[in-house]
Structure 1
Amino acid sequence: MRRLLLAGLIAFTVLPLAATPPSTPQPLDLETIMANPDWVGQAVESPYWSVDGRSIYYAVKRDGSQVRDLYRVDAASGQSVKLDAAARAQAGGDPVFDRRRQHAAYILHGDVFVVDVASGQRRQVTRTPQDESSPQFSADGRALQYRDGNDWYSYDLAQAVVAPVALLKFADDPQDARPDALGERQLATFSTLRRIKADKQAVRDENEALQAADPSRAPMPFWLGDKIKLVDAQLSPSGRWMLLVTVPKDADGGKVPQLTHYVTDSGYAEPEDVHTYVGRNDPAGQSLLLLDLVKHKPYALPTDTLPGIKDDPLKALRHDAIAALEKAGKADQAKALKAPDVRPVTVAGDGGDNIAWSDDGTELAVQLRAIDNKDRWIASVDFGDHTLVNQQRLTDPAWINWNFNDFGWLKDSHTLWYLSEQSGWSQLYTKPLDGKPKALTTGRFEVSHPQLSPDGRWFYLRSNQVAPYSYDVYRVPSGGGALSRVTHYQGMDDFKLSPDGSQLAVLHSSAYRLPQLAVQPAAGGTPRELTDTMKPAFTAHQWITPKIVQIPSSHGAGVIYAKYYGPADDTTSRPAVLFVHGAGYLQDVTLSSTYYFREQMFNNLLVQRGYAVLDMDYRASEGYGRDWRTAIYRNMGHPELEDLLDGKAWLVKNHGVDPQRVGLYGGSYGGFMTEMALLRAPGEFAAGAALRPVSDWTLYNHEYTANILNDPQIDPAAYTASSPIEYADQLQDPLLIEHGLIDDNVLAEDSIRLYQRLIELRKKNFWISLYPMERHGFVHPDAWYDEYRRVDELFETYLEKPKSP
């Protein structure tokens, strides 16, 4: 998991009004806000173009179900139709094209289909119970390649024959077994054994000769040994090479904690394995193996020549940790912390996003990360020497971002393109293999999601160049030139280029309007709106348009962007609430719809009752550059708390807020920050509700936590400084903790341990509410209602009435 709590914390999305609000809006209530969200409307999801570029397909969740219905809309007329089962069978999937644009291929219900672009004739390539994936055409256009798991197949378009590309055997070749001393004596003694052995070798030699001369035969197996297991395999479009990513077969993942399902179909409590704790066995280092499919030879691609790979960026911390262990008489633990001679790396995740072949299959680039995530390398492969050649090294004393790691090849198959935060902001670069890098974009803004046009002339990308909170599609010439704005929504969520590159399908949203689909010319122009999936009951309400404000930082951080809900006057003494978004690295202050649509409605309800509400993009939030992101390195909960306190001071100064009646709430990282605020700044907040919070970072996973706090064995001080449980003795203000018992992201034991600690400290005014059938992101309306009923009652009890002097 690349970032904390994202998937679970993100419930739905909401946006601006689609209807004129009534003059006397109906008051809000919790029952409505926390009901099944179908009454709000549905987001348009996963748009893709038809092969001929005339239609766009998109999905919409069905009311009362998790089923997604598929729609087709005519891009020219805007006429849309929901497809029944028979029509879906003919709809096709998201297509890929060969280099000459003569054929297209896609995956439909897990099978592979190929289409003749000129005639529209479709041919089914597979019909299997398993799911195929990753269709791509060979460089010469004669074959369609696809994968089943990590096994690759090639479909000859002319002969309509499917064949495996390579047979991978993770075992030792039985015919290569060398006899021991006894075996050698047997062979020396018995001529019959020698003849049998010679006959086997002759048969093998003959098969290899026939294989080399006859392409109609199935390939010979690659015997790769029994010491490794496969993580990923990527085939070159030329069909000549295959790159394997492997890990040691016996890599120890560490002890896996469990959660318990108490309410089950069976009536019995049922355990479930979840993620390993940070520091309880780091991810295994990965290795690269290059297979020559023509010469039938494997070649290891060592990573020990990458620049900086032998450095130890944690040298000072490691020295102190080892010294402390040795002083404590823990020599074995101290020895285990010794830095490796060569830092281990990871290469591949799901889908092969870190491996890129050029269109003609003659070049290969691989993106590698150090396990400590202080370095990222993009390296090309020298097929002659079977070595990696570094093309770009990005190093960060904190951690390399989870985002902004896209890369690939220009159409010349010799020039790399990539995103990098090397300037402090994600920008787009190109680099010839034998040349210097060139920045295609520059500035104090971020670019992401680059898409190269089919003709290779343009990059289309998402950027917040106008303001941190405003996102649109931009384009820049692939050879260099001005960055120009293509859309003008300010709340652009995603986009898809048409097959010919002339049009854009755009998903856009706003404060109370879920993502909707539009189409417009790719060079810019007037868009045609294609969908409106919002419900009248929701759009008819007079929602509060959040005002984006800039709050001065009193700690040298510049300004903190926030959304303010509430009256403009500053004459009335009123209570206030800070909503703290989750995930840490997430941007909630935008002109797009928010992930937290229920929370946004709850904020409206609070304003209706006389509160002011502030939603801040505290330090660590996305959208504001590298320094804002890494401000929390080794110190989680500290810069963010400074920002929240600045937010409170701004409310008091500008909106008549009573400083004694300010509360806060949030889920996941927002729950963590609620606990840090109450425990590290006692007396500043009148009450707080911590939903599914991290209370002790030693219980979270490696992928997120070690990036920010390093390993707990190497950097225990970072975990002590950053974990709310370490400050439990300072609790003096009311704290409500709420957690799903089957949360497999932040485990419920995290909150239960803090609760036990508060019991032992004999604290008062703390409560816990556990939800037996909820994971990290709640899904059942009853649980949502109960959760926020308790939050509402907490604020009503401790915030609404002024405190006595």
Structure 2
Amino acid sequence: MTKSLFLSFLFSVLFINLFAQQSELSVEKIMQDPKWMGTFPSNVKWDQNSSGIYFNYNKEADPADSLYRIRLASPKKIEKVSWTEEKEIDFARGTYNKSKSKKIYSKGNTLVIFDIKSGQETELLQFPENISRPNFLANEDWIAFSADNNAYIYSQKSGILKKLTQIKSGDAPKDKDPKSSDKAAYLEAENLKLLSVVKEREDTKKTTKEIREARKEKEAYTYYSGDSRVTNLQVSPDAKFVTLTLFNRGKSDATIVPDYIDASSYTRDLNTRSKVGADETTVALAIYNIEKDTVYQVQTSTLPGIKDLPDYVTDYPDKEWEAKEREVITSQAYFSDNGQHAIVNVRSKDNKDRWIARLDLATGELTSLDRQRDEAWIAGPGIGWSMGGGTLGWLPDNKHIYFQSEATGYSHLYLLNVSNGTKKALTSGNYEVFDPFISKDQKSWYLTTSEVGPGERHFYKMPLMGGKMEKLTSMTGNNDVTLSPDEKHMAILYSYSNQPWELYYKKNSAKAEAVQLTSGQSEVFQSYNWRDPQLITFRAEDGAQVPARLYVPEASVKNNAAVIFVHGAGYLQNVHKWWSSYFREYMFHNLLTDLGYTVIDIDYRGSAGYGRDWRTGIYRHMGGKDLSDQVDGAKYLVENYGIDKDKIGIYGGSYGGFITLMALFNEADTFTSGAALRSVTDWAHYNHGYTSNILNEPFNDPIAYERSSPIYFAEGLKGNLLIAHGMVDVNVHFQDVVRLAQRLIELGKDNWEMAVYPAEDHGFVEPSSWTDEYKRILKLFNTTLLDN
């Protein structure tokens, strides 16, 4: 090393250390085991009697969280529940009868009924197999349940147990006397014609078999499910039908992820997901007709628009597109209480349509009640996905169904009269509805919404047929409410931007005060003054107002450099007033701000919380508006916060890593450096469920994939790039960055480096890995944004 190089290196080290000393925080402190922060409650639930709140917690510094309890009679006392006691606790679960006076549920292979008034639990039946999905039939003496892939009903009065179905996996047994080939049949006929003794013996055998068959009782009908797995067995309230889902994963080619540090010392191959476009899953709904002793599948061919082609086909005029019946996924059946009606949720596998349809159980025919079409893709809070129906069910009047829809651009709650088709919106406005459910007295709705603002969540009560919503929570931030079984109390998991989750208790009244039950922050965590980021909006190039969280340093330490953080995707929001799931990154942003950086965290196009148009703004072009939102955020900082346009860095993980790559490859004049963590580099190599929603399938829409995949734009790299990836990542495979590395090598790029983590999956778990990764990120920004 020359003297000048050594002095330059020494200056860089001293420069970095100088800035590191300006904060109480360090990467090592932030990225250590999160236990240093304290203990925070999760997984809240009530017992059957509404007398105690149970939650996961770790008050005694155990290796993992344990079950704790707070009794309403002594709310200041937090008790750890022993393992033996935990097995005996009856948590709020099960299915109510119509009057809500009793509840039925299972404990392993035992069927249990719970009397609400007396609080008494009674065992009704012990079965050889585990019992699942028990519920009351219309005649509430009878209880239906499933076990061992078959449906049963049980009478409480008589103790009679009836097996309704005979379902077996695999194929039906083949005929023991298969038909002979033409050659074999000829030889047999010739033999019988020539040899009388042989013919007489065969005739005797045939006669004996016919007599035996005539005397034998007719075998019960058996339905064989073949290669499909039977799930979601549902007995209709009148016990005349059983619906069942037939799920077949198909034979899609799985991908392999090598584990190089397996305990055996041999490289072990991990079988993981298939790639987008390779999905061969089929999901069908079948009906077991008890009276006719037969099974038939629900027919979807009559659904309106079932053969509609998507709009994007116009981009491929040279390809011949066939308007054929699309593949669909049908949910379980949802029965009215009186058993006279049933509905299903049906989704097209191309993600463009969602139908809610009335099901004729006697024929398997469907009549569409509501069709939601989206040329991008169907999604949003409460809208059914995969085999689920989302928010879907019947009102007690057996005439109205309820569901959520993005018909107005935001996910809201609707009623529909199945007899006349009249649809009514119960909620409306530029906000979203989450997890609505009907009260026990069946007169009201309980629901969570973002009506106050996209950055807050509150719990409301509303009349069953619609009307004014009563806001039951008041703390600014996120109020995640678990209502007690008697609906008299609320357990609230609450957090704010700079305050991790704590448990609160409140009576079910808007006027009642919330009482804090836990306080889990450690002293060392509390000793730092964690910032409350500013929630702002800035104007994008297309006129949209883009939400962001902003961290502004003190003027005395401001270095005129900025870092943009890009959150991951799936369907996620990070600009809000509650404790972020990206808590390590939040703490890192506090460290960066201490060091003089201005940090911005953007809810770019594609983020959750802002309705349909924001969600689908990335359709067929990831790296389009979601990237331009980052560029516009950088311009906003330059114009309003005195940021040097040559001192802007960007980083993020997963989708955030993808955007970082697109930023450095396509917007090199805006971003000087970036850290791409666990990033997708070629969307044709990612999974089907997520990718096909946004980009369709690569063999049908290659334009969308080629303009959305960073590997096609690697020649644009000018700035400084850090790539970091776990080698046993079964979500975004290590292969992604290996292929990109080869491309960068072939392009002759030398301004990049890669850090690999042999022990890490997509979500890092080892503090040493987190520390190493973020030390590299900090070094990248310090050396490329400040020393230039």
**Both proteins in one fold, TM over 0.5:** yes
Q: Paired residue for 1:259, among 243, 247, 257?
A: 257
- Pick 1 or 2: higher relative contact order, CA cutoff 8 A, min separation 6: 1
Letter in 2 for 1:55: G
1:298-309 equivalences under 5 Å are 298-309=295-306
1:413 alignment partner in structure 2? 398
For residue 381 of structure 1, report the CA deviation from its aligned partner: 1.1
Note closer, same or farther for the CA distance 1:153–1:514 as it changes in structure 2 (3 Å cut).
Answer: farther
The SS at the match of 1:593 is coil
For residue 632 of structure 1, report the CA deviation from its aligned partner: 0.7
Q: Distance in 1 between matches of 2:550 and 2:736?
A: 32
Preserved contact between residue 551 and residue 599 of structure 2 (Cα < 8 Å): yes
Greater Cα shift, 735-744 or 579-588? 579-588
Letter in 1 for 2:244: L
Preserved contact between residue 473 and residue 492 of structure 1 (Cα < 8 Å): no
The SS at the match of 1:470 is coil
For residue 659 of structure 1, report the CA deviation from its aligned partner: 1.4
Q: Distance in 2 between matches of 1:302 and 1:318?
A: 32
Q: Distance in 1 between matches of 2:539 and 2:485?
A: 46
Q: Distance in 2 between matches of 1:157 and 1:93?
A: 23
Q: Paired residue for 1:608, among 580, 583, 594?
A: 594
2:29 alignment partner in structure 1? 32
1:397 to 2:375 alignment: yes
1:365 alignment partner in structure 2? 343
Note closer, same or farther for the CA distance 1:172–1:684 as it changes in structure 2 (3 Å cut).
Answer: closer
The SS at the match of 1:799 is helix
Preserved contact between residue 354 and residue 372 of structure 2 (Cα < 8 Å): yes
2:663 alignment partner in structure 1? 677
2:324 alignment partner in structure 1? 341
2:240 alignment partner in structure 1? 240
Structure ID, larger Rg: 2
Preserved contact between residue 453 and residue 497 of structure 1 (Cα < 8 Å): no
Note closer, same or farther for the CA distance 1:194–1:67 as it changes in structure 2 (3 Å cut).
Answer: farther
1:334 alignment partner in structure 2? none
Letter in 2 for 1:365: I
Note closer, same or farther for the CA distance 1:194–1:378 as it changes in structure 2 (3 Å cut).
Answer: farther
2:10 alignment partner in structure 1? none
**1:274-329: CA deviations, max 9, x gaps?**
111112x2343432211123442223221001111021125725854636xxxxxx
For residue 413 of structure 1, report the CA deviation from its aligned partner: 2.8
1:691-710 equivalences under 5 Å are 691-710=677-696
Preserved contact between residue 223 and residue 295 of structure 2 (Cα < 8 Å): no
1:258-297 equivalences under 5 Å are 258-279=256-277, 281-297=278-294
**1:234-261: CA deviations, max 9, x gaps?**
333443322122256xx74322110011
Preserved contact between residue 607 and residue 613 of structure 1 (Cα < 8 Å): yes
1:554 to 2:541 alignment: yes
Preserved contact between residue 725 and residue 757 of structure 1 (Cα < 8 Å): yes
Note closer, same or farther for the CA distance 1:788–1:124 as it changes in structure 2 (3 Å cut).
Answer: farther
Preserved contact between residue 381 and residue 432 of structure 2 (Cα < 8 Å): no
**1:664-692: CA deviations, max 9, x gaps?**
11100010011111111012111100000
2:12 alignment partner in structure 1? none
For residue 546 of structure 1, report the CA deviation from its aligned partner: 0.8
Greater Cα shift, 376-385 or 682-691? 376-385
Q: Paired residue for 1:732, among 708, 718, 740?
A: 718
For residue 150 of structure 1, report the CA deviation from its aligned partner: 4.2
1:800 alignment partner in structure 2? 786
Preserved contact between residue 66 and residue 80 of structure 2 (Cα < 8 Å): yes
Q: Distance in 2 between matches of 1:61 and 1:315?
A: 52
Q: Paired residue for 1:459, among 440, 445, 449?
A: 445
Letter in 1 for 2:454: P
Preserved contact between residue 497 and residue 577 of structure 2 (Cα < 8 Å): yes
Greater Cα shift, 30-39 or 398-407? 398-407
Greater Cα shift, 156-165 or 675-684? 156-165
2:88 alignment partner in structure 1? 90
**1:91-124: CA deviations, max 9, x gaps?**
1233223323343344557866443334433345
For residue 167 of structure 1, report the CA deviation from its aligned partner: 2.5
**1:204-257: CA deviations, max 9, x gaps?**
34x7xxxxxxxxxxxx45323636543543333443322122256xx7432211
Note closer, same or farther for the CA distance 1:156–1:31 as it changes in structure 2 (3 Å cut).
Answer: farther
1:15 alignment partner in structure 2? none
Q: Distance in 1 between matches of 2:22 and 2:240?
A: 67
The SS at the match of 1:419 is strand
Q: Distance in 1 between matches of 2:22 and 2:518?
A: 26
The SS at the match of 2:550 is strand
Cα root mean square deviation, aligned: 3.1
Q: Distance in 1 between matches of 2:211 and 2:403?
A: 54
Q: Distance in 2 between matches of 1:516 and 1:252?
A: 44
Greater Cα shift, 470-479 or 541-550? 470-479
Letter in 2 for 1:345: V
Q: Which runs of 5+ in 2 are unaligned?
A: 1-20, 193-198, 384-390
Letter in 2 for 1:427: H
Preserved contact between residue 573 and residue 608 of structure 2 (Cα < 8 Å): yes
Q: Distance in 1 between matches of 2:307 and 2:673?
A: 49
The SS at the match of 2:622 is coil
Note closer, same or farther for the CA distance 1:531–1:295 as it changes in structure 2 (3 Å cut).
Answer: farther
Q: Distance in 2 between matches of 1:62 and 1:274?
A: 37
For residue 497 of structure 1, report the CA deviation from its aligned partner: 2.6
Q: Distance in 2 between matches of 1:201 and 1:715?
A: 61
Note closer, same or farther for the CA distance 1:366–1:61 as it changes in structure 2 (3 Å cut).
Answer: farther
Q: Distance in 1 between matches of 2:284 and 2:323?
A: 16
Q: What is the number of equivalent residue pairs in this alignment? A: 743
The SS at the match of 1:664 is strand
Letter in 1 for 2:42: E
For residue 170 of structure 1, report the CA deviation from its aligned partner: 3.9
Q: Paired residue for 1:537, among 524, 535, 556?
A: 524
The SS at the match of 2:744 is helix
Letter in 1 for 2:392: F
1:659-674 equivalences under 5 Å are 659-674=645-660
1:431 to 2:416 alignment: yes
For residue 177 of structure 1, report the CA deviation from its aligned partner: 8.8
The SS at the match of 1:466 is coil
**1:65-107: CA deviations, max 9, x gaps?**
6643112222354243221123212212332233233433445
Q: Paired residue for 1:592, among 559, 564, 578?
A: 578
Q: Distance in 1 between matches of 2:723 and 2:61?
A: 30
**TM-score w.r.t. structure 2 length?**
0.88
Letter in 2 for 1:389: T
Greater Cα shift, 692-701 or 305-314? 305-314
**TM-score w.r.t. structure 1 length?**
0.86
Preserved contact between residue 50 and residue 56 of structure 1 (Cα < 8 Å): yes
1:39-58 equivalences under 5 Å are 39-58=36-55
Note closer, same or farther for the CA distance 1:165–1:799 as it changes in structure 2 (3 Å cut).
Answer: farther
Greater Cα shift, 584-593 or 307-316? 307-316
**1:125-153: CA deviations, max 9, x gaps?**
68899865434333333344444574444
Q: Distance in 1 between matches of 2:101 and 2:229?
A: 38
For residue 486 of structure 1, report the CA deviation from its aligned partner: 1.8
Preserved contact between residue 144 and residue 154 of structure 1 (Cα < 8 Å): yes
Letter in 1 for 2:520: T
2:766 alignment partner in structure 1? 780
The SS at the match of 1:707 is helix
1:193 alignment partner in structure 2? 206
The SS at the match of 1:341 is coil
The SS at the match of 1:650 is helix
Q: Distance in 2 between matches of 1:653 and 1:101?
A: 61
Note closer, same or farther for the CA distance 1:318–1:648 as it changes in structure 2 (3 Å cut).
Answer: closer
Preserved contact between residue 93 and residue 108 of structure 1 (Cα < 8 Å): no
Q: Which runs of 5+ in 1 are unaligned?
A: 1-23, 208-219, 324-337, 349-353
1:121 to 2:104 alignment: no
Preserved contact between residue 558 and residue 597 of structure 2 (Cα < 8 Å): no
The SS at the match of 2:56 is strand
Note closer, same or farther for the CA distance 1:198–1:375 as it changes in structure 2 (3 Å cut).
Answer: farther
2:224 alignment partner in structure 1? 224
